[in-house]
Structure 1
């Protein structure tokens, strides 16, 4: 059986299209396929089929659709009733979405290894699975929920394919394609940067600059922002007479030694993790930013954000180690929160940084005057130095401000669950949970690849229960490594119960629930935020607008949106797209949803955050 969702939803058997009729039955089939072997709950099916107001006979209608699908698809495909919904099993079938993702993963890996011809071929094959707009014949409710991320994946693959073609010198063939793409996606900065590169390499420098000015104007008028890294660095490359940013340009030039180069340069960075996987795009962008020469434009601040346990610290430390050669005066590191998730006093942090710089500082200095003196010494000690300062786990800007080095020669790399808009000029790298391929690699790094491949169904279940969260994957991998006699299926069974899953995601002092709790406790009015989180848990895992949250919270839509934005700021809720009216759609990460449900009857208490949870 051949299933297709990257266009109209279709099923083909032995080369013949199966006769499916009506948007509802196409929606049911698409929902089962997009679940990737996991149960689709009755409540989610109701939402995808009828929105917020399913008919009283919805259960019977869903049962009818499932029966009809079983009859049409035949014995090769199993559709099982599995509480709280339905599960599709088709082990000998193909799904165009899965094949697209497989080829995309291989293509991106080849691109990272600079095997551009292979990358271009694989990514072209991946894009060949698209037959127009995905999910073209389903209900608007399913399209609203799933289409934005599918289209975003398609655009990323297209941009990667163009990147490979540019590296192969095919700029002349690409110019017409890129011109059309930029016209259709005028705010997509990477495409515009690629068009500028193609223009420039074709001897059309004025067209490249004109494209930049048009993009800058559109970004300012429609979004109120300046061009980002891709567009800005390409513009600088065109002005400087280079064909485009990349290895061998600004990023590859080692900085000249500073006046302090003869001193012992401090290195306070934690050891690199031996199992850093995924994050190739984010790592490359962060390294490029860290490699920029000091330009006298004032202090440079870089920010890595994301939910607890998503790997912010691991990325920041890894990028800092790889970029250390650009900072001949040393690399400093400070944790801004304690083991309990509470912010450390600025005086304590400054004391540690000064000691790393070789200063003799006595303890117990926690008053305002003492803090001011420590700050004066810190700024004097860092002035004129090419330093990289990594500040891990910032909670708010008020406590962070005294720690930001004022020298234009220093770069401050900050990790935080919050976006910290008050940090002037910060360029932000936002981390999402890992995709399936990277999640498997991270789990395999601890548990062993052969062991997972020997039980693929159980391994898929474990990955699904971890929701792509690196901290959860490290916990499960460590548990399997510590119990080599366990089948993977045993751990999958223990994780299967949502009511006990968070308790199972704890091992050797590392606790996923304990890592998530400070995100809630650090919010302003944390008691109200807790109540909001608990009430919203009734919505479940599907995406929802503020209007639905308002009905759940029994408040006005504007008030509900303010509460939702607070949870987004605390990395307890994601914005996953917009509806047809352009209103934001929100969604829980699966593990945050389990935490919210566990709080309904739990007493309020602080939980300890494990080391490395950030």
Structure 2
């Protein structure tokens, strides 16, 4: 099938049980197996094809994979291999096929085990294209249901990219007849949903060639024909749309003796009435996917909802804005996404989201962010005009578009007021939700919600969401120790939970013991894409050179509280207050008034950031 607008996603995904243990040889990337069912059944190891001889071997492998780790009885394998007429030696032959398959898989032979009257294939740690397709399709359907059409189109396009031909293309006819129709139906449904999402995001022009090809191949598929009529109508090609409908009506009458169904008839009637030529759209909800239940921060979430949903009042209506601040890893993005999802229904013109930092932590130019937001809102500019790149023109178009809109604009990880200023919407009916590691004067102080470390109860609940509630409940004292070593930092707790989830045989106490040693704590708080030291390093890249140079020396002062004068005495340097204040502004240090009222602020390090600062190289300080 043809796909459009997909993002680069691996064509296969880990199973829900997570990757294999580090002590398991299957955890070695060079040994990773990839199983493919959505096309010819095949196996590759580290990108190299593994030879599978004959349709019978392919069939046995496919049946075991389709069982998803459940027991496959000998009778099920026999029916897939020989249908209703198995040979007298069927059990012996099945044993031979499984033995050959074990030999072919080599070091991974232990994946297939004999249990009772059948066999079990353990696919954990391997990549299976069917499982990846189903996961992406499920996420895409949810996004489509929530009117997040741009995201739905990407997810469903990536799901379709998992296919490499017709499903189960080299197995026995018995398995083919029982399984291929179901898989092909899932594929067709995903394609229709992706086309629906693309129509909702205004891609009707690019869809016309694809839909013409699909309707030619599947002339009696009424849904595809209805989508083609809609796309042609929105391209002002009404004569062709009429032809598509009349041809479909003729084919249905001649081949099946039926009249067009409701979807096809309604698409034709809307075209005749001139409805939908401007592409009616449901509210856009373009937000990061919620991949896990949200835990903790109830008071902060309630405060943000109150700020965003309050009605404008007074003679001069002001922009409704809220700012979430906190140190790196404190959960600003997760909180903002959760609140935005919850408030989406209150903004009839939609919700848009933009990340204000590149992957390497560098601030994105406002022009690039504005162009992205305008595109999401359906304003792509006019080719050849300077407005495509000129900041002044982009701001003008953005303010004009938002002047009469009721939108929620979510801007994640703002670095400065200068970056944020061009991104302010024009209407008081539009609300703005910003996350940043520093306080911004653009958003008034009463509208700022700082994130403190999580309390032990919320941190344990977050750990349970990630690692499993039963497991944490069984070792509650060790879990409490573990979250205390994470010092209430949500990213650290999530990393600890991810490591436990990926190591089912580990006890919570085992990981807590690793975190108990300050020398190994930071190294243990890194897993896959979640890496606390790397996150902290990105924050340090925004510091001035002098503050970055002073920071490693400040770690000698300890967690605090301490004054600027004490810090200067410890490191032997005068005038460290400006560096301390810069660290406070960057949410890398906290300050509080001196209880003795001596007019000196007292500073505190977060325990994990203190460890990280202590591991930084120390350069000679200017005197």
Q: For this structure pair, what is the TM-score category when the shorter chain's length is used for normalisation?
A: 0.5 to 0.7
Equivalents in 1 of 2:424, 2:381: separation in Å?
19
Find the residue that maps to 1:474 and give its secondary structure.
Answer: helix
Greater C-alpha radius of gyration:
2
2:607 is aligned with 1:587: no
Query: Residues 544-583 of structure 1: matches in 2 within 5 Å?
Result: 544-556=562-574, 559-582=575-598, 583=600
- The one of 419, 428, 431 equivalent to 1:408 is 428
Equivalents in 1 of 2:442, 2:406: separation in Å?
24
2:613 is aligned with 1:596: yes
| 1:577–1:465 CA distance, 2 compared to 1 (3 A) | farther
Does the Cα contact within 8 Å between 1:544 and 1:585 map onto a contact in 2? yes
Equivalents in 2 of 1:454, 1:337: separation in Å?
41
Partner of 1:466: 486
Equivalents in 1 of 2:281, 2:529: separation in Å?
39
Equivalents in 2 of 1:456, 1:412: separation in Å?
40
Does the Cα contact within 8 Å between 2:553 and 2:618 map onto a contact in 1? no
- The one of 519, 522, 525 equivalent to 1:505 is 525
2:356 is aligned with 1:336: yes
Find the residue that maps to 1:297 and give its secondary structure.
Answer: coil
| Cα shift at 1:425 | 7.0
Equivalents in 2 of 1:420, 1:338: separation in Å?
20
Equivalents in 2 of 1:365, 1:309: separation in Å?
41
Does the Cα contact within 8 Å between 1:345 and 1:366 map onto a contact in 2? no
2:337 is aligned with 1:325: no
Find the residue that maps to 2:352 and give its secondary structure.
Answer: strand
Does the Cα contact within 8 Å between 1:458 and 1:492 map onto a contact in 2? yes
Partner of 2:295: 277
Does the Cα contact within 8 Å between 2:547 and 2:579 map onto a contact in 1? yes
Equivalents in 1 of 2:523, 2:293: separation in Å?
24
| 1:568–1:595 CA distance, 2 compared to 1 (3 A) | same
User: Structure 2 length normalisation: TM-score?
Assistant: 0.52
Equivalents in 2 of 1:365, 1:487: separation in Å?
62
| Cα shift at 1:297 | 1.6
| 1:365–1:412 CA distance, 2 compared to 1 (3 A) | farther
Task: Deviation per CA, 1:253-293: give whole Å up to 9, x if none.
Answer: xxxxxxx9975322111123432111111111111111211
Partner of 2:282: 264
Equivalents in 2 of 1:575, 1:534: separation in Å?
19
Equivalents in 1 of 2:541, 2:335: separation in Å?
25
Equivalents in 1 of 2:491, 2:339: separation in Å?
19
Find the residue that maps to 1:544 and give its secondary structure.
Answer: coil
2:450 is aligned with 1:430: yes
Task: Deviation per CA, 1:76-109: give whole Å up to 9, x if none.
Answer: xxxxxxxxxxxxxxxxxxxxxxxxxxxxxxxxxx
| 1:530–1:322 CA distance, 2 compared to 1 (3 A) | same
Equivalents in 2 of 1:436, 1:374: separation in Å?
46
| Cα shift at 1:518 | 2.1
| Cα shift at 1:390 | 0.4
Partner of 1:313: 333
Does the Cα contact within 8 Å between 1:553 and 1:560 map onto a contact in 2? no
Partner of 2:374: 354
2:572 is aligned with 1:529: no
Equivalents in 2 of 1:483, 1:298: separation in Å?
51
Find the residue that maps to 2:449 and give its secondary structure.
Answer: strand
User: Structure 1 length normalisation: TM-score?
Assistant: 0.52
| Cα shift at 1:448 | 1.7
| 1:326–1:368 CA distance, 2 compared to 1 (3 A) | closer
Find the residue that maps to 2:337 and give its secondary structure.
Answer: helix
Partner of 1:171: none
User: Aligned pairs, how many?
Assistant: 340
| 1:457–1:577 CA distance, 2 compared to 1 (3 A) | farther
Equivalents in 1 of 2:383, 2:444: separation in Å?
31
Q: Which structure 1 segments of 5+ residues have no match? A: 1-259, 604-614
Does the Cα contact within 8 Å between 1:545 and 1:586 map onto a contact in 2? yes
Deviation larger for 381-390 or 490-499: 490-499
Partner of 1:519: 539
Equivalents in 1 of 2:385, 2:519: separation in Å?
46
Does the Cα contact within 8 Å between 1:347 and 1:365 map onto a contact in 2? no
Equivalents in 2 of 1:365, 1:519: separation in Å?
37
Does the Cα contact within 8 Å between 2:348 and 2:407 map onto a contact in 1? yes
Find the residue that maps to 2:406 and give its secondary structure.
Answer: coil
Equivalents in 1 of 2:485, 2:383: separation in Å?
45
| Cα shift at 1:359 | 1.6
Equivalents in 2 of 1:438, 1:577: separation in Å?
28
Does the Cα contact within 8 Å between 1:519 and 1:571 map onto a contact in 2? no
Find the residue that maps to 1:333 and give its secondary structure.
Answer: strand
Does the Cα contact within 8 Å between 2:549 and 2:619 map onto a contact in 1? no
Partner of 2:308: 290
Task: Deviation per CA, 1:182-230: give whole Å up to 9, x if none.
Answer: xxxxxxxxxxxxxxxxxxxxxxxxxxxxxxxxxxxxxxxxxxxxxxxxx
Equivalents in 2 of 1:363, 1:272: separation in Å?
35
Equivalents in 2 of 1:477, 1:532: separation in Å?
34
| Cα shift at 1:382 | 1.0
Report the aligned-residue RMSD. Answer: 2.6
Query: Residues 149-160 of structure 1: matches in 2 within 5 Å?
Result: none
Equivalents in 1 of 2:369, 2:298: separation in Å?
31
| 1:601–1:566 CA distance, 2 compared to 1 (3 A) | closer
Partner of 2:476: 456
Equivalents in 1 of 2:306, 2:321: separation in Å?
14
| Cα shift at 1:319 | 1.0
Task: Deviation per CA, 1:337-369: give whole Å up to 9, x if none.
Answer: 011111111121111101110122589999996
| 1:365–1:420 CA distance, 2 compared to 1 (3 A) | farther
| Cα shift at 1:413 | 0.7
Q: Which structure 2 segments of 5+ residues have no match? A: 1-277
Find the residue that maps to 2:379 and give its secondary structure.
Answer: coil
- The one of 488, 491, 507 equivalent to 1:487 is 507
Query: Residues 186-201 of structure 1: matches in 2 within 5 Å?
Result: none
